[in-house]
Amino acid sequence: MTPAFAERNVALIDLLDRLLEGGVVLTGELTLAIADVDLVHICLRALICPVESDHDTIDTRRRP
């Protein structure tokens, strides 16, 4: 790590803001096993991204 970055303090909220601005994909796997027998295998994927709404567009879609 360069000295310029080592001395820089970054708040967690700033880091999350930068990550979530473009979107983040989280993946994970969980396996429940007893005596080397896999009983449950779960694959998880989550897409986290910002959602912007345009109130004018939403209002025009409503039916009278």
One DSSP character per residue, 1-61 reads: --HHHHS----HHHHHHHHHHH-EEEEEEEEEEETTEEEEEEEEEEEE------HHHHHHH
Residue 7 has pLDDT above 80, yes or no: no
The tokens for 7 are: 């001395």
Residue 58 has pLDDT above 70, yes or no: no
Q: What is the arithmetic mean of pLDDT over 15-30? A: 84
At 40, the pLDDT band (50, 70, 90 cuts) reads very high
Phi, psi of 21, rounded to the nearest 5 degrees: -60, -40
Residue 34 domain boundaries: 3-61
Number of domains in the chain: 1
* CA dihedral (35, 41, 47, 48) positive or negative: negative
Q: What is the arithmetic mean of pLDDT over 23-34? A: 90
